Amino acid sequence: MIVLDDIKNILISDLRANNVFSSIVNITKDVHDPILNNNVIERIVIVIPGGADNGQFERAYPRVCIYVPKIIKNTKNNTNYHVMNAIRINVLENECINAFRSSIYGTSSNEVYLYKLNELTIEDDTETFSNCINCQLKFEVVNTRL
């Protein structure tokens, strides 16, 4: 039986095996470390909204949240402001599309699963001085036993 925590572990393993995503060292489940203005780093957080229990399921919608720190710019009067790192966002957004647009099959606990991209959005996260690529996946357990 695949449970929700298994999905997070599967996704973390698959992200670490990807050439682009593996460059992001901080890949965690559910929450990331507190962010201060001076310690903002790229990070990935895997969450499953509404997935409080760890029971059996047929379909879930995990989110791969990729946080990209904003770039600090200076004005002529020496005040700082944050802007989107558009180049890095574009690289990671394209990699999300390439990595997840086709169904990815695997096995866990003698069950076959598949997942693929369901929705992709870019959000502003002012609390963490970052932009977030919110990559929602559709994860299904196929009713086939090995």
Contact by Cβ (8 Å): 31, 84: no
CATH architecture classification, 4-145 = 2-Layer Sandwich (3.30)
* Average pLDDT rounded to a whole number, residues 101-109: 89
Record the pTM.
0.89
Q: How do the domains of the chain map onto residue ranges? A: 4-145
Q: Please state whether 129 falls in left (phi above 0), alpha (psi between -120 and 50) or beta.
A: left
* Average pLDDT rounded to a whole number, residues 111-129: 93
pLDDT digits (tens, 9 = 90+) for 36-65: 766 789 999 999 987 666 666 788 999 999
- Give the number of other CB atoms < 10 A from CB of residue 10: 20
Mean pLDDT for the chain?
A: 88
In the block, which residue shows the tokens 């990209």? 68
pLDDT at 142 > cutoff 90: no
